[in-house]
């Protein structure tokens, strides 16, 4: 049976226009358990929305709703297929910093910009000793074509069914209609040191993550 | 993606001329708008209440600009020449990107008849059934702006030297979509500045990337790609 425990700072500090209003409770009978750092920044409008809000309150809900990733925590492990169909686990990246970026879909303008920006700055990431991993709900063949077309030198993983996205609590945009664009930087111990969210300025993910990596 | 002949229009192209049918539809559309406006004015005069109708008219003017943008975005990005009902318009909008000058060569009724037809079907029932002056003030301004939006659009493509001073003044004041603002739409991939009445919504829609968000949602939910994603980008 699912039960909800709220951390102390459970009321998110939203922009003045956004409060935990009755309208929100129409979508969920629970308070959104979203921390400041993972608020979705749809440009000009912060929408704090965890994808876990769409899970009904039946007793079949599994415990993964609570595996919410915050700064300073180690995210839950996963094993996903890469663009070549090989299984890749998060633990493979331990020992080096890793940038894990969740994006909506291959072959969309924002995601293409973001992937190409990571590609173009890849040497800087390598210099900082970091690896880059992109995750979306597309299948391996879509990732393979996307990576080939844009000559992406890093791993793309298929989170089919968006299970890892939900496990990590990546917030959705636009009232749950669009998968959020959120990037995590994990240090060499696998602990999250940065969470950056920005749906419509994808190149900023590269700037922000590099800034953090250079200080690690 | 529509493929089209390299030169859709030539100067003095017959397809740019107004026909009797075009003129008939334009007359019908204008008549329904004028009736609505008359009902608004007569109702306001009778009741001595002008503020409500004036505000309603303002709302109509602002909403018309937004709707022109939404419609323009849909027609520019989705469907094709073979889409039922809208296919001809979709094709015409693509042709307009290829030959933006052609709209300035279209005769008046030719340019406006499709909108006039839509306005006739929409506004006539309202004229027949409703008498409220505030309602009609909104409808008259809203439908009038939409009907004439293609003319405002044509003026936004016309060189300054060929425009009446009043039109230039209205464009400079931001009351009609300006030449420079609309030129922003005609840069590949043609994905911004969609509004063509006053253009008052363009800055907000561009800055908030409203249409890009809608495109992402439609792609994610329905797998439909907008045409602007396939256009070469200038950036």
Contact indicator for A110, A171 with CB cutoff of 8 Å: no
Tell me which residue in B208, B216, B221 faces A108 most closely, judged by beta carbons.
B216
How confident is the model at residue B4, as a pLDDT?
46
**Phi/psi of residue A39, nearest 5 degrees:** -70, 135
Report the pLDDT value the prediction gives residue B230, as an integer from 0 to 100: 87
| Chain A residue with the nearest C-alpha to that of B226 | A108
Distance CA A119, CA A153 (A): 6
Best to test chain B binding among A45, A103, A108 (most B CBs inside 10 Å) = A108
pTM of the model: 0.78
**What local confidence, expressed as pLDDT, does residue B8 receive?**
65
Cβ–Cβ below 8 Å for A178 and B219 = no
CA distance A110 to B139: 39
Radius of gyration in angstroms for the set of CA atoms belonging to chain A, rounded to a whole number:
17
**Catalytic positions of A, written as ranges:** 111
* Alpha carbon distance B189, A171 (integer Å): 30
Candidates B192, B213, B234, partner chain A, best to mutate (most A CBs within 10 A): B213
| pLDDT by 10s per residue, chain B, length 235 | 444 444 567 667 888 899 999 999 999 999 999 999 999 999 999 999 999 999 999 999 999 999 999 999 999 999 999 999 899 889 999 999 999 999 999 999 999 999 999 999 999 999 999 999 999 999 999 999 999 999 999 999 999 999 999 999 999 999 999 999 999 999 989 999 999 999 999 999 999 999 999 999 999 999 999 999 987 765 4
Backbone angles phi and psi of A97, in degrees to 5: -65, 150
- Are B40 and B140 spatial neighbours (Cβ–Cβ below 8 Å)? yes
Q: Which pLDDT does position A32 carry in this prediction?
A: 36
Total Cβ atoms within 10 A of residue B166: 9
Q: Which residues of chain A have pLDDT under 50?
A: 1-39, 43-65
- A108 vs B207: CB contact, 8 Å cut-off? no
Give the helix/strand (H/E) hosting A80: strand A79-82
**Alpha-carbon separation of residue B4 from A69, A89, B83, B96, B97 (angstroms):** 51, 49, 16, 11, 11
Whether A108 sits inside 8 A of B221 (CB atoms) is no
CA dihedral B205, B207, B211, B213 (to 10 degrees): -130
- The pLDDT value recorded for residue B112 is 95
ipTM surpasses cut 0.85: no
Cis peptide before A144 (omega within 30 of 0): no
CB pair distance less than 8 Å for A174 and B207? no
The pLDDT score that the predictor gives to residue A15 is 33
């Amino acid at each position: 049976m699912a039960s909800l425990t709220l951390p102390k700072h459970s009321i998110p500090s939203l922009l003045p226009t956004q409060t935990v209003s009755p309208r929100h409770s129409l979508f969920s009978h629970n308070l959104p358990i979203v921390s400041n750092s993972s608020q979705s920044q749809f440009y000009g409008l912060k929408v704090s929305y965890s994808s876990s809000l769409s899970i009904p309150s039946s007793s079949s809900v599994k415990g993964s709703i609570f595996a919410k990733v915050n700064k300073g925590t180690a995210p839950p492990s996963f094993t996903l297929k890469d663009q070549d169909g090989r299984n890749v686990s998060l633990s493979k990246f331990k020992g080096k910093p890793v940038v894990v970026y969740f994006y909506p879909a291959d072959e969309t303008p924002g995601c293409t910009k973001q992937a190409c920006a990571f590609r173009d700055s890849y040497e800087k990431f390598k210099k900082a000793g970091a690896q880059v991993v992109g995750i979306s709900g597309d299948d391996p063949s879509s990732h393979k074509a996307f990576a080939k077309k844009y000559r992406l030198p890093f791993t793309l993983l298929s989170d089919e069914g968006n299970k890892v996205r939900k496990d990590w609590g990546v917030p959705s945009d636009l009232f749950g209609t669009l998968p959020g664009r959120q990037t995590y930087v994990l240090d060499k111990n696998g602990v999250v040191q940065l969470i950056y969210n920005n749906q419509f300025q994808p190149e900023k993910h590269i700037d922000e993550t590099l800034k953090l990596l250079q200080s690690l | 993606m529509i493929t089209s002949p390299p030169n859709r229009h030539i100067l003095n192209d017959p397809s740019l001329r107004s026909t009797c049918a075009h003129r008939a539809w334009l007359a019908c559309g204008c008549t329904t708008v004028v009736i609505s406006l008359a009902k608004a004015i007569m109702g306001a005069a009778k009741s001595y209440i002008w503020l409500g109708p004036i505000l309603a008219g303002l709302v109509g003017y602002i909403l018309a600009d937004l709707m022109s943008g939404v419609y323009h975005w849909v027609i520019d990005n989705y469907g094709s020449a073979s889409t039922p009902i809208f296919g001809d318009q979709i094709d015409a909008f693509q042709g307009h990107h290829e030959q933006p000058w052609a709209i300035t060569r279209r005769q008046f009724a030719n340019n406006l008849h499709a909108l006039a037809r839509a306005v006739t079907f929409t506004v006539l029932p309202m004229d027949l059934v409703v008498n409220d002056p505030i309602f009609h003030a909104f409808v008259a301004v809203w439908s009038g702006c939409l009907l004439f939006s293609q003319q405002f659009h044509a003026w936004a493509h016309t060189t300054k030297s060929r425009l009446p001073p009043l039109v230039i003044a209205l464009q400079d004041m931001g009351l009609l979509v300006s030449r420079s603002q609309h030129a922003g739409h005609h840069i590949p991939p043609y994905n911004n500045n969609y509004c063509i009445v006053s253009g008052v919504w363009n800055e907000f829609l561009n800055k908030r990337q409203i249409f890009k968000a809608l495109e992402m949602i439609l792609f994610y939910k329905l797998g439909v790609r907008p045409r602007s994603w396939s256009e070469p980008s200038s950036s």
